[in-house]
Structure 1
């Protein structure tokens, strides 16, 4: 379970898409949200869009691994698709904030399987420029996001790895290195004991 978190505009969505395009062994966890779709967003690919009542039903029946309120909208991770992917030996990528990451860490059996990466912008000016460059948010929303970024960044020390995203391609190389190293941890190599025993028997 590979978590990417960052303040809005720092690049986690771009890095997520690039990683998914280049690594067939990882699948995206698609969040459910009560916010309205942005231009170009596709139901079931970018998000599952629902109303407040539908979201609360999922939350109250245990169908969400984590959930949070961000800018007045509800976000959460549906449990079943994640558990199905893990059961089939696939890694799962999460694009969630620090609140959701904390809840994932506290959920049953998730802590040992969780790898947490926080993405920082190279500067406050670069973050504001990226937010304005998207052309999707009004000035007051950009100011809201900048104000919230300071709080989000304060949680960096709860993460295993930090990437300062000055250059997307370089950050992607580092992210892929993190993923590969975590896949090679002894506890994640299923069948290793059998392989080692067979190897030793042949010596």
Structure 2
């Protein structure tokens, strides 16, 4: 049924969303901003420009101060991506690679963040295509990040599967003509009703692919 699998990063390959939000809201409060929302659902899967507008709605100058504080903290206390890798994801990716699936990564995050994550987790060698939505003219929910992956993989959208977690990512994958399965988070809730299937683990995703 599928011969290509394209993964989202945050919330799928790594459980990074709560940590990113904690640091982002802390930086916003340090500069005196009042976030429009502290609900993780309003941040998950969105481009960083959008999340910063939510965290620091007052003005661009204050927003940049918060971003600078956030960036400085990441430099002084980097996120340990290997520690927050999703259980079972390495086994699934190795299985897919060995089975001959084309593998892509379609993230709304920055290129630096994506490449650092791949290096620290040891997943880089398995991906034929890696695309950051922040390098494109439009990020998720626009389908560009998936369309570019499909082009690099020379893949038929009808035979390509996206593994997502957020509504924006699911929308992007569907707009690219792909099937979208969602990985349900363990420690927060998010609207995944538009997904074609919702899995509770990477092992379940592997089981479904083996049965397809």
TM over 0.5: no
**Structure of greater Rg:** 1
Q: Determine which structure has greater relative contact order: mean sequence separation of CA pairs < 8 Å that are 6+ residues apart, divided by chain length.
A: 1
TM-score calculated relative to the size of structure 2? 0.31
